[in-house]
């Protein structure tokens, strides 16, 4: 009889051990899935916070922090659980958060909650490669945001017959007009050498710019515009202009809000205001000439 009791006791121990194993496996599957889901939600929220902060970095440290905190609240993150770092000099915003998640099946095994965490860093990076660039080269200078510049020069300012036009993907006024209207479809990179397009080409210039202005249906202004507004023109920054048709090296890229085209013949100018803009392209290094992209790292 005692032997049977011992056998029953051994079976009970085995059954209990099996139940614990099954419960543990169930906890791994069910609560593991729950924790994965909660961590993914937290990571998405933290990514959005870092990106929002980086987007506002050009407006200053306070603006970047305010933008990040606003997005955090909109994504269900309390400011108590959010750790935010704004590095204006390094052009980066870091965000991290951790929260306790109540467990389900694991409670049977006396595990009531677990912690999930997420971290993200968003960094502004200068553009080393870009598509859609207008066939214009603006000579490097200490650009001031909001200031009006001649992004295509007129009489008395051209160098040896050059007024800032570039021959991208071909030469001639028709090619120049199409690129000015729609942007050069090919890629340009920092360090590339491109040919200039001599001559003022006032007719093609006016036609292309008038089309850009007419295509803006939202009444955009320098202070209120969309990123894809046709009045925003991406241009190459160059060190100077040669005499006649010659090569120039691309130092970087900049964006201008086109105010209009003025003058006739050799007195034809395109004028625009220097703006800060986030754009899609190949990134690397630090932001330069106000045109940058945002990279998300973790």
* Higher local confidence (pLDDT), 109 or 102: 102
Instruction: Please tell me whether residue 227 adopts helix, strand or coil conformation.
Output: coil
Structure confidence at residue 54 (pLDDT): 86
Contact 278, 292 (CB under 8 A): yes
Predicted confidence at residue 102, as pLDDT, reads: 67
pLDDT tens, position by position, 16-29? 444 554 444 444 44
H-type helices in 79-232, by residue range? Answer: 173-182, 202-215
Task: Tell me if 268 sits within 8 A of 154, measured CB to CB.
Answer: yes
Among candidate residues 221, 235, 61, 206, the one with its CA nearest the CA of residue 146: 221
The 10s digit of each residue's pLDDT in 193-237 is: 999 999 888 899 999 999 999 999 888 888 888 878 999 999 999
- Which two three-digit tokens encode residue 168? 């991208």
Give the residue carrying structure tokens 């005692």.
Answer: 2
More confident residue, 281 or 167: 167
pLDDT attached to residue 40: 83
Tell me the per-residue pLDDT of 67-83, one tens digit each, with 9 for 90 and over: 999 999 999 888 898 99
User: 253 pLDDT band (50/70/90 cuts)?
Assistant: very high
What confidence score (pLDDT) does residue 256 get? 96
pLDDT recorded at residue 27: 46
Cβ count near 11 (within 10 Å): 10
**Stretch 106-132: mean pLDDT:** 77
Which residues make beta-bridge pairs with 254? 235, 290
Q: What is the mean pLDDT of residues 11-39?
A: 56
C-alpha separations of 57 from 84, 150, 282 in Å? 13, 27, 20
Report pLDDT for 294: 84
Instruction: Look at residue 271 in the predicted model and tell me its pLDDT.
Output: 93
- Domain coordinates of the chain in residue numbers? 2-111, 128-297
What the block records as the tokens of 90 is 């390094």
Q: Which residues of 98-115 are buried (b: 16+ CB within 10 A; e: fewer)?
A: ebebebebbeeeeeeebe
Q: Which of 178-182, 208-212, 215-219, 263-267 has the lowest mean pLDDT?
A: 263-267
Q: Collapse the DSSP code of 21 into the 3-class scheme (helix H, G, I; strand E, B; otherwise coil) and give the result.
A: helix
Q: pLDDT tens across 120-153, in order? A: 998 888 889 999 999 999 999 888 989 999 999 8
Q: Is the dihedral of CA 165, 167, 169, 170 positive or negative?
A: positive
Structure confidence at residue 273 as a pLDDT band (50, 70, 90): very high
Provide the pLDDT for residue 192: 96
Q: What percent of the chain shows pLDDT beyond 90?
A: 43
Average pLDDT, the chain: 83
Token duo for residue 227: 């990123």
153 three-state secondary structure: coil
């Amino acid at each position: 009889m005692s032997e049977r009791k011992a056998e029953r006791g051994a079976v009970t121990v085995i059954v209990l051990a099996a139940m614990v194993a099954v419960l543990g496996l169930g906890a791994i599957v069910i609560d593991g899935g729950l924790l994965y889901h909660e961590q993914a939600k937290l990571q998405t929220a933290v990514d959005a916070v870092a990106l929002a902060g980086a987007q506002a970095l050009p407006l200053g440290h306070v603006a970047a922090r305010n933008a990040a905190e606003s997005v955090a609240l909109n994504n269900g993150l309390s400011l108590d659980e959010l750790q935010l770092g704004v590095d204006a000099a390094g052009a980066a915003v870091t965000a991290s958060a951790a929260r306790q998640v109540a467990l389900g099946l694991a409670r049977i095994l006396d595990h009531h909650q677990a912690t999930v965490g997420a971290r993200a860093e968003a960094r502004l990076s200068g553009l080393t490669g870009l598509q859609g660039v207008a066939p214009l080269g603006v000579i490097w200078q200490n650009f001031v945001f909001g200031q009006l510049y001649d992004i295509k020069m007129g009489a008395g300012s051209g160098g040896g017959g050059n007024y800032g036009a570039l021959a991208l993907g071909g030469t001639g006024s028709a090619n120049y007009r199409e690129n000015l209207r729609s942007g050069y479809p090919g890629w340009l990179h920092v360090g590339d050498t491109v040919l200039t397009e001599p001559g003022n080409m006032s007719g093609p210039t006016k036609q292309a710019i008038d089309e850009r202005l007419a295509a803006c249906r939202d009444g955009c202004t320098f202070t209120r515009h969309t990123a894809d507004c046709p009045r925003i023109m991406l241009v190459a920054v160059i060190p100077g202009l040669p005499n006649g048709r010659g090569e120039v090296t691309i130092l970087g890229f900049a964006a201008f809000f086109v105010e209009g085209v003025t003058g006739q013949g050799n007195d034809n100018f395109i004028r625009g205001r220097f703006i800060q803009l986030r754009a899609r392209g190949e990134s690397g290094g630090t932001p330069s000439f106000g045109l940058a992209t945002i990279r998300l790292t973790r």
